Amino acid sequence: MIRQLSLIAASLAAIMVLPGCGSNQKDGAAAASASFDEIVATRRSVRDYKEGTTISEAQVRDLVATAMEAPSWANSQTTRYYVAMDPQKVAAVKELVGAGNARNTAGAPVMIVSTFVKGQSGFGRGSQVNEVGDGWGAYDNGVSNAYFILKAREQGFDTLIMGMRDSDGLRKLFNIPDTEQIMAVISLGYRASDPNRPARKSLDEIVKFY
């Protein structure tokens, strides 16, 4: 109970601090004062974006620079980001994420496709090191994406990770080589409303101590 109350308090405090949240919306303003817990508490999958906003290439570069600090198998750094900034390209990506995702990302000014280079993370001398194989590339990609979306929140942006997407269509649209596995599409924009926090399992359902 005390834990829940402190999480709610942290969320409320963060809502006061973070741009793009609650009444303190300021497009593009940095929120360097937000603590890690505040960023985590206010990061949500956003499915309702303010229309008519813009995000610059420099701002996206900052997010990718943070994502590059993520750990990866033997520092293999196989994650790649394809960033649609041009409105026509953005619209084309939205046509490749399914009708529901397209509707939910309608106002997002930037759409990003995340991939990883196959056969490197989890591989040594050309063969997979253990049973996970390219699963390690997917693992590294997810870690990188996590850095990306949390940095985005710190900067006052909002995101939606989408696993529902047409990978063949995206491959053609960005000319992504077959050597790369297409993973998630991530929308980037500013929330138009604050989403609820989907319930989490209890801690003891997911952790065992020995």
List of residues contacting ligand FMN (CB under 6 A)? 44-45, 47, 101, 104, 160-164, 184, 195, 198
CB of 120 to ligand FMN, least distance (A): 21
**Alpha-carbon distances, residue 117 vs 14, 37, 140, 180 (angstroms):** 36, 32, 11, 4
By C-beta, is 120 or 159 nearer to ligand FMN?
159
**Which residues are within 8 A (CB) of 133 and not within 5 positions of it... i.e. 6 or more apart?**
122, 123
By C-beta, is 88 or 196 nearer to ligand FMN?
196
Whole-angstrom distance, CA of residue 107 vs CA of residue 94: 10
By C-beta, is 43 or 171 nearer to ligand FMN?
43
* Residue 206 near residue 57 (C-beta atoms within 8 A): no
CB of 95 to ligand FMN, least distance (A): 14
CB of 57 to ligand FMN, least distance (A): 25
CB atoms within 10 A of CB 179: 11
CB of 105 to ligand FMN, least distance (A): 9
Of all helices (H) and strands (E), which one includes residue 173? Answer: helix 167-174
By C-beta, is 68 or 161 nearer to ligand FMN?
161
By C-beta, is 126 or 163 nearer to ligand FMN?
163
Question: Phi/psi of residue 117, each to 5°?
Answer: -75, 125
CB of 48 to ligand FMN, least distance (A): 11
CB of 196 to ligand FMN, least distance (A): 8
> Terminus-to-terminus CA distance in the chain, angstroms?
25
By C-beta, is 17 or 183 nearer to ligand FMN?
183
| Residue among 112, 93, 109 nearest 28 (CA) | 109
Position with the least CB separation from ligand FMN = 163
**Which residues are within 8 A (CB) of 14 and not within 5 positions of it... i.e. 6 or more apart?**
21, 34, 35, 37, 38, 39, 41, 42
